A and B are shown apart, each in its own frame.
Chain A
Amino acid sequence: MSTTDPGTQNFPLAAEGREALEAAAREQRALTPTERVIASVEAYTPEEAAERTLANEMLADTRPGVRQPLLLNLGPNHPSTHGVLRLIVELDGEVVREVTPVIGYLHTGIEKQCENKTWWQAITLVTRMDYLAPFANIKAYTMSVEKLLDMEVPARAEWIRVLLAELNRIASHLVWLGTSGLELGAMSVFFYCYRERDELLDLFEMVSGERMNHRYFQVGGCSDDLPPGFVERVRAFAKEMPKRIDEYEALLTGNPIWKDRMEGIGVLPADELLALGVTGPTLRAAGIPHDLRKVSPYSGYEHFEFDVPTATEGDSYARYLVRVREMRESLKIIQQVLDGLPEGPVISDDRKVVLPPREELAYSMEALIHHFKLVSEGFMVPAGEAYAAIESPRGEMGCYTVSDGGPKPHRVHMRDPSFVNLQATAPLCRGGYLADLIAIVATIDPVMGGVDR
């Protein structure tokens, strides 16, 4: 198994095993458990691959009943791993003995690049992290920066943020439901969910100009007011949506196949989940009602009446029920926001941070200077650090910003819920079947953009 063998040049995937061996050799240390698994799952030459298959067959022939564990490589390009997640599964027949998730295939260097951008420009990068909940990403980031600036956001802006965050929660759960159904074989659910999601993306396009990766929340509020006709369309959507959720439930909730595949799968006691740092619907399905919108309310959530769906079984079916109920609760919040949306400015009026309205540039010299400074250099944030956490559709999304007093961040770190939740994959999947592993990863709902950043 020579690492300099030119034969391995034809097997690009074997490169990762070679990398692990090179790194260990360079640093004069033994392979860590993950590296050992990566190095052993790949055959380095076609001859070796053939040998391994043959060895297994011969073993089965000569000593029937004896099984060698099979190391199966699932991903990174796999239809049902929710993105580029690589799972190296050690199988004993159909039973999963051990699973090692390997991530990093979508590592974009967002945190490094944010240090080169001004505080504003970083919003466009941060929004592309967890790409199913872009509003959640920028909410966490802008909240963190507003904390550092000790800035107050006007009420109308906060309520608009709540409205869009809840619409985003529904959109994210629709993708989760559609793709989970697709992975487990319920293909029609996919088309139903994407039909609704198209309408939601139309709403997002009305408000921000983009269907995804919006850049609508601004430090200090929202960049623009709601367009005319938006509120009516959201009302129409909120009226229609409960019937659609009933449709999904009619398809899945009582479905014996769905229940067979999801009940009793992937159970872990709540305190173990907490010790692993898991948050979000995965934790709430295990019995702990930890929802940051209730526990430490932000952005005006304390004004709204809604329940936090919780379950006690902690299996995949419970996680599914929790998320579907969350969609209904989000609709409740949306109704309340629409009924009580206050009038007022949509962004703070601190001219040192927020752009002045365009008409002012025509008659106010000060506004012109502020505009120039903000666009060319950016605003300064006082030195310090802040951590702001929100409840994204997947769990606790936090943003830790460190400022050194300048126009660019010194450090931006996003605490992504999927990154931490994926650590629970191994404990949840051990002892189950391979098919259950698919169902468990589906209900953990990882989004690799957030995992790898």
Chain B
Amino acid sequence: MALIPPPGAPIRRAPRTDPAIDWDLRDPLSAEVSKGLLLTTVDKAIAWTQTSAIWPATFGLACCSIEMMHTLSPRLDMGRFGAEYFRGTPRQSDLMIVAGRLTQKMAPVVRHIYDQMLEPKWVISMGACASTGGVFNNYAVVQGCDKIIPVDVYVPGCPPRPEGLMEGIDVLRKKIGANGQEPSSELIARRREERAQWDREHAEELAELRQVSAGHDVEQAGEPPRVEPVVAEAEASARAAEARGE
């Protein structure tokens, strides 16, 4: 039996294991793909490239950096996600993993290096000390690196297991939009819009309900709470100057 089927012969494909994770062959667009064409939106293509090769900057500060090095170890190879190439220079990296306790003396250095990274850039705050100051609530430790730089993913732990950091990177990849998923910021915005729409449609019933539960005349609007936007650049640097010296 020839390994290479002769021209014109039907190509037998291996059975799909899970139709949900594969292209839906009933979908005419996917049928095009199975013939060898790749159709996608530009956003999804860019998201695919970004998530396949996130290059972190070497920013290990303390104990968490050792666990970060363990994600490169043979047991939990971070190269599977394309992220094993730690760049020495922030100019060539996409991701800053703040691994370890951030001190007052180091804070301006962190900000400087974050500023030197080129867009798009993301930050993972690894460990309890980088997220909130951790065990150290004193004069010397900045209580969370998000006082200085905007953070995308927080990984708790002291130190987090390397598997924990890998999950953090996985969450970040989903956030960016890996595997054609919607980036979660768009998802959140869309859900918020749907909720607001539902509230507008059912305004009367809601008003009645509140009247019954409050027991008196109520004229509150049924607006969902607003989520605060990500900290603006200027605010963050002002906070950096504050946290550093005073």
The answer to whether the Cβ of A303 comes within 8 Å of any Cβ in the partner chain is: no
| Interface members, chain A 78-131 (any B CB < 8 Å) | 78-79, 83-84, 104-110, 112-113, 124-125, 128, 131
Cα distance, A224 to B44, chains bound together (Å): 53
The answer to whether the Cβ of A13 comes within 8 Å of any Cβ in the partner chain is: yes
Q: Is the CB of B109 within 8 A of A128?
A: no
Nearest-neighbour CB distance to chain A for B170, whole angstroms, equals 20
Q: Is the CB of B70 within 8 A of A198?
A: yes
The answer to whether the Cβ of A195 comes within 8 Å of any Cβ in the partner chain is: yes
Neighbouring A residues of B74 by C-beta, 8 Å? 191, 194-195, 198
The answer to whether the Cβ of A402 comes within 8 Å of any Cβ in the partner chain is: no
Q: Is the CB of B69 within 8 A of A105?
A: no
Cα distance, A11 to B154, chains bound together (Å): 28
One of A13, A107, A198 near B140 (C-beta < 8 A) = A107
Nearest-neighbour CB distance to chain B for A169, whole angstroms, equals 16
With contacts A212-B159, A213-B158 taken as known, whether A13 is within 8 angstroms of B138 at the C-beta atoms is no
Q: Is the CB of B58 within 8 A of A79?
A: yes
One of B58, B106, B161 near A105 (C-beta < 8 A) = B106
Neighbouring A residues of B60 by C-beta, 8 Å? 83
| Interface members, chain A 167-183 (any B CB < 8 Å) | 175, 178-179
Could you give, for residues 187-202 of chain A, a 1 whenever the CB lies within 8 Å of some chain B CB and a 0 otherwise? 0001100110110010
The answer to whether the Cβ of A36 comes within 8 Å of any Cβ in the partner chain is: no
Neighbouring A residues of B135 by C-beta, 8 Å? 124-125, 128
B59: nearest chain-A partner, CB-CB = A77
The answer to whether the Cβ of B66 comes within 8 Å of any Cβ in the partner chain is: yes
Nearest-neighbour CB distance to chain A for B209, whole angstroms, equals 47
The answer to whether the Cβ of B112 comes within 8 Å of any Cβ in the partner chain is: yes
With contacts A12-B112, A113-B136 taken as known, whether A175 is within 8 angstroms of B73 at the C-beta atoms is no
The answer to whether the Cβ of B202 comes within 8 Å of any Cβ in the partner chain is: no
Nearest-neighbour CB distance to chain B for A394, whole angstroms, equals 15
One of B73, B139, B240 near A198 (C-beta < 8 A) = B73
One of B72, B111, B136 near A110 (C-beta < 8 A) = B136
Q: Is the CB of A131 within 8 A of B62?
A: yes
Q: Is the CB of B136 within 8 A of A197?
A: no
With contacts A211-B161, A448-B62 taken as known, whether A112 is within 8 angstroms of B138 at the C-beta atoms is yes
The answer to whether the Cβ of B16 comes within 8 Å of any Cβ in the partner chain is: no
Could you give, for residues 98-127 of chain B, a 1 whenever the CB lies within 8 Å of some chain A CB and a 0 otherwise? 001101011011011100000000000000
Q: Is the CB of B109 within 8 A of A131?
A: no
Cα distance, A110 to B113, chains bound together (Å): 26
Neighbouring B residues of A131 by C-beta, 8 Å? 62-63, 66
| Interface members, chain A 272-327 (any B CB < 8 Å) | none
| Interface members, chain A 348-380 (any B CB < 8 Å) | none
Interface magnitude class on chain A = 35 or more
Cα distance, A132 to B67, chains bound together (Å): 11
The answer to whether the Cβ of A15 comes within 8 Å of any Cβ in the partner chain is: yes
With contacts A107-B103, A107-B105, A108-B101 taken as known, whether A197 is within 8 angstroms of B140 at the C-beta atoms is no
Nearest-neighbour CB distance to chain A for B223, whole angstroms, equals 40
Neighbouring B residues of A83 by C-beta, 8 Å? 60-62, 65
Q: Is the CB of A105 within 8 A of B136?
A: no
Neighbouring B residues of A124 by C-beta, 8 Å? 135
With contacts A12-B111, A212-B67, A213-B159 taken as known, whether A198 is within 8 angstroms of B75 at the C-beta atoms is yes
Q: Is the CB of A15 within 8 A of B244?
A: yes
The answer to whether the Cβ of B88 comes within 8 Å of any Cβ in the partner chain is: yes
Could you give, for residues 4-17 of chain A, a 1 whenever the CB lies within 8 Å of some chain B CB and a 0 otherwise? 00000101110110
Cα distance, A125 to B62, chains bound together (Å): 14
Neighbouring B residues of A9 by C-beta, 8 Å? 241
The answer to whether the Cβ of A409 comes within 8 Å of any Cβ in the partner chain is: no
Neighbouring B residues of A76 by C-beta, 8 Å? 106, 109
Nearest-neighbour CB distance to chain A for B108, whole angstroms, equals 4
The answer to whether the Cβ of B141 comes within 8 Å of any Cβ in the partner chain is: yes
Nearest-neighbour CB distance to chain B for A163, whole angstroms, equals 21
Q: Is the CB of B69 within 8 A of A194?
A: yes
Neighbouring B residues of A13 by C-beta, 8 Å? 108-109, 112
Q: Is the CB of B106 within 8 A of A84?
A: yes
Q: Is the CB of B63 within 8 A of A449?
A: yes
Nearest-neighbour CB distance to chain A for B113, whole angstroms, equals 6
B69: nearest chain-A partner, CB-CB = A194
One of A104, A109, A125 near B139 (C-beta < 8 A) = A109
Cα distance, A9 to B108, chains bound together (Å): 11
Neighbouring A residues of B63 by C-beta, 8 Å? 128, 131, 212-213, 449
One of A11, A108, A125 near B103 (C-beta < 8 A) = A108
Neighbouring B residues of A195 by C-beta, 8 Å? 73-75
**7 shortest A-B CB distances, which residue pairs?**
A12-B108, A109-B140, A194-B73, A131-B63, A109-B138, A105-B106, A12-B112
Q: List the interface of chain B (C-beta within 8 A of A).
A: 58-63, 65-67, 69-70, 72-75, 86, 88, 100-101, 103, 105-106, 108-109, 111-113, 135-141, 158-159, 161, 240-241, 244-245
Given A84-B106, A105-B61, A213-B159, 13 further pairs, Cβ under 8 A: A11-B112, A13-B112, A77-B109, A104-B103, A106-B62, A107-B103, A108-B140, A109-B136, A109-B140, A112-B139, A128-B63, A191-B72, A197-B70
Q: List the interface of chain A (C-beta within 8 A of B).
A: 9, 11-13, 15-16, 19, 76-79, 83-84, 104-110, 112-113, 124-125, 128, 131-132, 175, 178-179, 190-191, 194-195, 197-198, 201, 211-213, 448-449, 452
Listed A/B pairs (20) with beta-carbon separation below 8 Å: A12-B109, A12-B111, A19-B245, A76-B106, A77-B59, A79-B88, A83-B61, A83-B62, A83-B65, A105-B106, A109-B138, A109-B139, A110-B136, A113-B138, A132-B66, A175-B69, A194-B69, A212-B63, A212-B159, A213-B158
